[in-house]
Homo-oligomer: A and B are copies of this chain.
Amino acid sequence: MNTADLGLPVAVPSTALFTDHYELTMVQAALRGGTADRRSVFEVFTRRLPEGRRYGVVAGTGRVLDAVANFRFEPEILEFLREREVVDEPTLKWLADYRFRGDISGYPEGEVYFPGSPVMRVEGTFAECVLLETVVLSILNHDSAVAAAASRMAVAARGRPLIEMGARRTHELSAVAAARAAYVGGFSTTSDLAAGFRYGIPTVGTSAHAFTLLHDTERDAFTAQVESMGSGTTLLVDTYDVAEAVRTAVEVAGPGLGAVRIDSGDLLLLAHRVRQQLDGLGARDTRIIVTSDLDEYAIASLAAAPVDAYGVGTQLVTGSGHPTASMVYKLVARADSCDPGAPLRPVAKKSMGGKLSVGGVKWAARRPDADGVAEAEVVGTGEVPAELADHLLTVDLVRGGEIVARERLEAARERHLRARDGLPLSATQLSRGEPVLPTEYTVG
C-alpha cells in the first residue's frame, strides 16, 4: 500500500484509514476545545528490547515517509466517516484539507536502537501529529521486528547469503514489507515477487516438492527443470531419497549443476554427506542450500557445515519469537496555547504499572570509547554536550511537510552493517543478555 522506495510505478491508495478510530475523535474534541493547534512533539521510542536481545534495528522509515505523503482523506473516506458518524462535520471539513505540514526527524533506517532511543520525532500541531500515530507505529513496529531478526540471522550466517522465503507464513502485504526489512537487516534475496517489483530486491527460486511429485520419476522432474532453466539451476533433492536424488541430479545436469536444496532432515549430517557425494561426482562447484525451519540458532549450528546459502521463512517474518517491536508514540512536549511562538513544555504520563515516560524534546548520541567502539546511548534534553556533537544520531526526514530524506534501500542496508560494526563485540552474541549499550539520560 506504499510506493516503492525506488520510485517504481506502484499505485498508492490513501493511508489515512490505517488509523485508530480514537485519533479522529481526539482531533474532533481538540478542534472544538480550541487546543488542536497547540504545537506538539510526539516521540517514538521503546521502553525495552525483546527479552534477551542486544540491540534493535530501525526499519520501515522509508515506508513511513510514503505513508505520511499519502495520508489524505479522499471523498470516499470522508463519506464513510460521515455515514458511520465517526466524527462531526467541522472535523470532516478539517480532514478534507489535511496534509501533514510539520517536521519529522529520527534515526535513519538501518541504524540500531536501544531502550529509550528517540527513534522518531513528529512535530507540528497536536491534531496533525496525533493522526499519524497508528500508521507510523504499524510500520516501525512490524518492520523493525523483522529487521532485528534478520540482523541476528545475518550475524549467524557469517557472510553466507540468506534468502528470505517467508511470504506464505505471514499476511501477503506484511510479506512484502518483511522482505524489505530483511534486506535492510542483511538478507541478500527474497522469494517474494512483489518485493522484487516494489523495492527492486533480487528474487530467487526454482522448484518445490510438488514439481517432483508432478512427474512420474524424479529423473523426469530434474530433466524437465534443467531443460527449461539450464544446468545452473537449483534441484530439490529431498522428495524421496537424498543420496539417490543427488546422483540423479548430477547425471541429469552434469557436474556444472548450480545447486542442490535440502528442505528436511538432519541438515548438519546431510550437508556433509551431500558435499562428499557431490565432490565425489566431480560437482565441486555445486552449492548446497538448506531451507528447513531455520532460525538464527539453527543457522549458527550449521557454521561448520558445508552449506553455501540459507533460506529462511517462518522465523524471519515472525521476528524470531518477537513479531512486533514495542515502540510507542507519545506526546512529550506541547505549547500552552495555539500561538505558534508559544514555548514547548515537557509532558509525561505518571501512572502505575511501570509505564513511566520521560517528557521533553530529546536529542540522542552514541558515545564512543577511546577505541571508537560505542559505549553508551546518550539521550538528553536541552543543549548537546560539545563532546557528543559529532555523534548525534537523528536526521531530518520531513521539513514543513516535504520529504527531505529519500534514499535507496541499499543505503539503509549499508548503514545497518556500519552501525552493527560500531557496537561492542558482544552485540552479536546470540545468547540472551542485556542491551549491549546502556541508555544514559542527561537533562540539560
The interface of chain A, by Cβ under 8 A from chain B, is: 1, 9, 11, 13, 15, 17-26, 28-33, 35, 38, 40, 42, 67, 76-77, 80-81, 84, 86, 88, 126, 130, 133-135, 137-139, 141-143, 165, 167-177, 191-194, 196-197, 203-211, 213-216, 220, 223-225, 227-229, 238-240, 242, 264-266, 270, 292, 314, 317-319, 323-324, 326, 329-331, 334, 336, 347-353, 355
Contact = CB atoms under 8 A, between A and B. Distances in A.
A266 B323 contact: no
A139 B175 CA distance: 11
B169 A205 contact: no
Given A139-B172, A331-B209, A80 B196 contact: yes
B314 A324 contact: yes
A350 B240 CA distance: 5
B238 A196 contact: no
A272 to B, nearest CB: 15
Contact of A193 (B9, B17, B174): B17
Contact of A264 (B139, B215, B266, B351): B351
A168 B134 contact: yes
A40 B138 contact: no
Q: Which of A135, A171, A175 has the most CB of B within 10 A?
A: A171
Nearest to A32: B228
A168 B19 CA distance: 8
B24 A193 contact: yes
Contacts of A21: 191-193, 196, 203-205
29 contacts: A1-B173, A11-B11, A17-B194, A20-B192, A22-B206, A23-B205, A23-B208, A29-B224, A29-B227, A29-B228, A32-B227, A33-B220, A42-B210, A81-B193, A84-B196, A126-B214, A130-B210, A133-B168, A141-B169, A142-B174, A171-B171, A171-B177, A209-B330, A209-B349, A213-B348, A214-B331, A239-B350, A314-B324, A318-B324
Nearest to A22: B205
Given A22-B191, A38-B214, A80 B197 contact: yes
A234 B77 CA distance: 25
Nearest to A318: B323
B30 A224 contact: yes
A380 B266 CA distance: 31
Contacts of A168: 20, 133-134, 137-138, 141, 329
A23 B355 CA distance: 47
A352 B264 contact: yes
Contacts of A318: 323-324
Contacts of A208: 22-23, 26, 130, 133
Contact of A353 (B176, B204, B264): B264
A84 B204 CA distance: 10
B171 A216 contact: no
A199 B117 CA distance: 37
A61 B210 CA distance: 23
A1 B21 CA distance: 21
Contacts of A11: 11, 13
Contacts of A31: 228
Given A20-B205, A76-B9, A264-B353, A170 B142 contact: yes
B25 A206 contact: yes
Nearest to A88: B228
A326 B317 CA distance: 13
Nearest to A167: B134
A444 B113 CA distance: 59
